[in-house]
Amino acid sequence: MEKLIITAALTGAEVTKDIQPSLPVSPDEIAEAAYQCYLAGASIVHVHARDEEGNPTQSYDVYKEIKEKIEAKCPVIVQPSTGGATWHTPEERLQPVELKPEMATLSAGTCNFGNEVFMNTGEYMVKFATRMKELGVKPEIEVFERGMIENAKRLIKQGLVASPAHFDFVLGVPGACPGTPEDLMHMIRCLPSDATWTVAGIGRSETPLATMAIILGGHVRVGFEDNVYYSKGVLADSNAQLVERVVRISKELGREVATPDEARQILNLK
């Protein structure tokens, strides 16, 4: 089986320091968290930027500072968000793609997101995929609902996303697809046959779905964007602590963990 790619989703757009005091928010904090996750075994960091007040921002300049600070510390793949927060405009959301990162997320459809709507019309998807293709940025196709896989297949058919495509199932967002084993199995069955995939289980589904991915040959995303707890009612100390747990489970199950360069090979980034 291929080695396991672990992505650390360090910050997200929704969690605050009131909820998780160790949440990395400033570019320095995000770069240090990325470094600690790299040391723990992560090969990708999924990044959201915050402004000086700690609010979500899609500012090109802030993402640039974060990317440069992470790259100065370690060789992880830096994967900016183009999802941003639900209230960002598509133009704002696309700004970090102009940095030409190796990867960026591309959400493959609209869904409820808590009490809000995460808007991704056909027009947005084409616009995002086109710009990523022009700049040579590999999309991580974010799937929150089953139908989004079909939207992504359409982008592949249109030649806007290259095969083999890489998917990330984000399961357990309130208002979207739950994070049950059956849901994950069905999603996997619906993928293009050559696709690679990661799963990000939200909240309590994080560790069970990560374990399934390790067994099934998929890849794993963990981190404060998805889950702030280590166990029921007990906050995690750091993003790295969540990565360390995945590394331990993977080793126990006999699957080796990929370095950033091995992840680049698995994902055809070089």
Using CB under 6 A, list all residues that contact ligand KMH.
12-13, 81-83, 85-86, 105, 107, 113, 118, 142
Amino acid at the residue 170: V
Does position 250 interact with Zn ion (CB under 5 A)? The reply is no
Q: Does residue 62 contact residue 80 with C-beta atoms inside 8 Å?
A: no
By CB under 5 A, is residue 239 in contact with Zn ion? no
Please say whether the beta carbons of 134 and 163 come within 8 A: no
Give dist(CA 136, CA 119) in Å, integer.
24
Whole-number Å distance between alpha carbons of 108 and 129: 10
**Residue 83 Cβ, how far from ligand KMH at the closest point, in Å?**
2
Q: Which residue is nearest to ligand KMH (CB)?
A: 83
Q: Which is nearer to ligand KMH, 58 or 250 (CB)?
A: 58
Q: Residue 82, interface with Zn ion (CB under 5 A)?
A: no
Q: Whole-number minimum distance, CB 123 to ligand KMH, in Å?
A: 17
Decide the pairing of beta strands 229-231 and 234-235: antiparallel
- Binding partner selected for residue 113 from Zn ion, ligand KMH, none, CB under the kind-specific 5 to 8 Å limit: ligand KMH
If the CB atoms of residues 111 and 210 are measured against ligand KMH, the closer one turns out to be: 111
Q: Binding of Zn ion at residue 81 (CB under 5 A)?
A: yes
Task: Please name the residues in contact with 110: beta carbons below 8 A apart, sequence gap of 6 or more.
Answer: 117, 118, 119, 120, 121
Give me the amino acid identity at 21. P
Partner from Zn ion, ligand KMH, none binding residue 118, C-beta < 5-8 Å depending on class: ligand KMH
d(CA 245, CA 250): 9
Q: Which does 112 bind (CB under 5 to 8 A by kind): Zn ion, ligand KMH, none?
A: none
Task: Give the Cα separation of 241 and 120 in Å (integer).
Answer: 33
Question: Whole-number minimum distance, CB 110 to Zn ion, in Å?
Answer: 16
Minimum CB distance to ligand KMH smaller for 82 or for 250? 82
CA distance 205 to 20: 18
The span from the first CA to the last CA of the chain, in angstroms, equals 20
Residues that bind Zn ion (rule: CB under 5 A) add up to a total of 1
User: Which token pair is 10?
Assistant: 């360090």
Q: Whole-number minimum distance, CB 150 to ligand KMH, in Å?
A: 19
What's the closest the beta carbon of residue 90 comes to ligand KMH, in angstroms? Answer: 12
Comparing CB distances to ligand KMH, the nearer of 107 and 151 is: 107
Q: What is d(CA 267, CA 270) in angstroms, rounded to the nearest whole number? A: 8
Task: Give SS3 for 156.
Answer: helix
From residue 41, alpha-carbon distances to 75, 235, 262 in Å are 12, 21, 12
Q: Cβ of residue 159: shortest distance to Zn ion, in angstroms?
A: 26
Q: Is 57 in the site for Zn ion (CB under 5 A)?
A: no
Binder of residue 241, out of ligand KMH, Zn ion, none (CB less than 5 to 8 A by kind): none
Cβ closer to ligand KMH: 86 or 241?
86
Cα 63 to Cα 69: distance, rounded to the nearest angstrom: 10
Least distance CB 222 / Zn ion (angstroms): 13
- Which positions touch Zn ion (CB under 5 A)? 81
